Amino acid sequence: MSSDAPLLEVRNLKKHYPITEGVLKRQVGNVRAVDGISFAVERGETVGLVGESGCGKSTAATSLLRLEEPTDGEVLFEGRDITEYDKKELKRFRREAQMIFQDPTSSFDPRMSVGESVAEPLTVHGMRDRERRRRIVKDLLERVGLSADDIDRYPHEFSGGQKQRIGLARALVLNPKLIVADEPVSALDVSIQAEILSLMKDVQTEFGLGMLFISHDLSVVREICDRVAVMYLGEIVEFAATDELFENPQHPYTRALLSSIPQPDPTKRGSAVELSGDVPSPSNPPSGCRFHTRCPEVIPPEGYDFEQKTWRSVMDLRVRLGRDGVNAEAVREFVASESGQEPESVPADRVRAEIRREFDIPEELSDPRAEEVLSTALRHLANDEQAEGRELLAEEFETVCESSAPELRRTPAGHVASCHLVSEAESNAVSTPSTGD
Model confidence pLDDT, tens digit, residues 108-145: 999 999 999 999 999 999 899 999 999 999 999 999 98
pLDDT the model gives residue 267: 64
- CA–CA gap between residue 229 and residue 169 (Å, rounded): 27
- Count of all residues that appear for the chain in the document: 437
User: Strand 46-50 relative to strand 227-232: parallel, antiparallel, unpaired?
Assistant: parallel
Picking from 102, 261, 262, 257, the residue whose alpha carbon sits closest to that of residue 185 is 102
Q: At what angle do helices 114-124 and 160-172 cross, to 10 degrees?
A: 20
pLDDT the model gives residue 196: 86
Domains of the chain as residue ranges with CATH: 8-225 (3.40.50.300), 322-396 (no CATH)
Contacts of 109 (CB under 8 A, 6+ apart): 117, 155
Integer distance in angstroms from the first to the last C-alpha of the chain?
23
User: Strand 416-417 relative to strand 409-410: parallel, antiparallel, unpaired?
Assistant: antiparallel
- CA–CA gap between residue 373 and residue 300 (Å, rounded): 14
Model confidence pLDDT, tens digit, residues 220-252: 899 899 999 999 999 999 999 999 999 999 999
Q: What is the pTM of this model?
A: 0.88
What are the φ and ψ backbone dihedral angles of 277, each rounded to 5 degrees? 75, -175
Q: Helices marked H in 81-227 — which ranges? A: 87-96, 114-124, 130-143, 160-172, 190-207, 218-224
Model confidence pLDDT, tens digit, residues 339-365: 888 888 889 999 999 999 999 999 999
pLDDT the model gives residue 436: 54
265 vs 412 pLDDT, higher one: 412
